[in-house]
Amino acid sequence: MSLPHALLTSILEKPSTGYELARRFDKSIAYFWHATHQQIYRELAKMELAGWISATDIAGARAGMRQYQVLAEGVSELQRWAASTSKAMPLRDELMLKLRADAAIGPLGLNGELQRLLELHSQQLANYLVIRERDFSAKTLSRAAALQLQILNGGIAFEQGRIAWLEQTLSLLEQDLAS
Amino acid sequence: MSLPHALLTSILEKPSTGYELARRFDKSIAYFWHATHQQIYRELAKMELAGWISATDIAGARAGMRQYQVLAEGVSELQRWAASTSKAMPLRDELMLKLRADAAIGPLGLNGELQRLLELHSQQLANYLVIRERDFSAKTLSRAAALQLQILNGGIAFEQGRIAWLEQTLSLLEQDLAS
DNA sequence: CCACCCATGTAACTAGTTACATGATTTC
DNA sequence: GAAATCATGTAACTAGTTACATGGGTGG
């Protein structure tokens, strides 16, 4: 299970309230690990109980708002987890299933769906490119920044590959309509 | 939810027992949609209740073995599902999380893990290439075969991209050790 | 003062995993 | 006749989703 470790990393990067974490998740870690705010609050409560993080009330903020920070226990847990071998992530690609169904029972009119996904991935790619331009255009990067850039480049390559493949698939299906 | 639709497709391709489905899943659909045998049996029972599939006892086989086939209801359900827009698949990439943790709290010794994954993906790629050679080297392909090839090519491109990226990442981390 | 966003949650559900059970058939 | 594999399941659990609740703060 990786969500708590994703949260640990995120809190290490910047101590935060649950709400902030949920929002920050959406804009960075969610690119490769999605979680809803309910899941995040629940997980934070568990992690606090386990002694991995602690919360402090924020002075001057509304009651109930608590900022989390990582304890030594949490750091060593993160190290332990990073050293353990994770099993191959199980792929889940619904589009592939649909194409296979299409192959099995004739044309199902997937063009629209493919087009939609093409747009989605194009947007995501544009998004990544903006981030790269904005945050990583310095000539020399720190170790941390170099790694983050490498992660981002992975996302960019993935989106580019997907877009190329979707375009190919679309033209294959259109060719099909013509005949 | 897509597992029942994956099963419908698989049964359409070839009427099967639950056991056969579980095994066939492992060798084809599992490449992009994993399921355990428990999940498959449970889902088959539900689908039979819903009237999407029916089971017939196999004459001459051991008691309890039942072969499933897809009913008209099942086919139209599959069509309905294919026409519905599926939401973007939530990515789950543990390695990216680990790299991010590494960026946050210094070298965590991920080289071994990267090497392991490199090998895994290389094997998967080799696997795909064998299948392509074996099943899709004919000059002209039927519509169904062309689509299946396109799906396979998607898998191949994905593995190749991943391998290239992993090699880059490894050299980045090694460079790091040197300094 | 009303609507909207901030911020934290609870409850109920669905999907997926892990561990175990059971009996039948094939293989050494 | 013992061990392995075939074949179908049950039970208990963990993870993730969806819908809703609650109360405070802010802008018009």
pLDDT of B35 above 80: yes
> B55 CB near a chain A CB, below 8 Å?
no
- Asked whether residue A17 carries a pLDDT value surpassing 80, the answer given is yes
Q: What's this model's pTM, rounded to 2 decimal places?
A: 0.92
- Cβ within 8 Å of B, A 136-155: 143-148, 150-151, 153-154
How far apart (Å, rounded) are the C-alpha atoms in residues B128 and B132?
A: 6
Chain A: nearest CA to B169, how far in angstroms? Answer: 7
- The model's confidence at residue B103, banded by pLDDT at 50, 70 and 90, is very high
Predicted pLDDT of residue B27: 83
Are residues B154 and A103, on separate chains, in Cβ contact within 8 Å? no
State phi, psi for A57 to the nearest 5 degrees. Answer: -65, 140
The model's pLDDT over B72-102, given as tens digits with 9 standing for 90+, comes to 999 999 999 999 988 777 788 999 999 999 9
Alpha-carbon B85 to chain mean position: 20
Confidence of residue B177 (pLDDT cuts 50, 70, 90): low
As a rounded value in angstroms, the CA-to-C1' distance for B19 and D6 is: 9
CA triplet B67, B73, B74: central angle to 5 degrees? 50
Whether the beta carbon of B45 falls within 7 A of nucleic chain D: the reply is yes
Measured between beta carbons, which residues in chain A are less than 8 angstroms from residue B29? 97, 100
Q: What pLDDT is attached to residue B89?
A: 73
Residue A124's closest CA among A3, A32, A7?
Answer: A32
Q: Per-residue pLDDT for B111 more than 90?
A: yes
Residue A88 clears pLDDT 90, i.e. is over it: no
Burial B7-37 (b: 16+ CB within 10 A, else e): bbbbbbbebbbbebbbebbeebbbbbbbbee
Reported for B127-130, long-range contacts at CB under 8 A and 24+ positions apart, including other chains, are B128/B152, B128/B155, B128/B156, B128/B159, B129/B156
d(CA B44, CA B28): 18
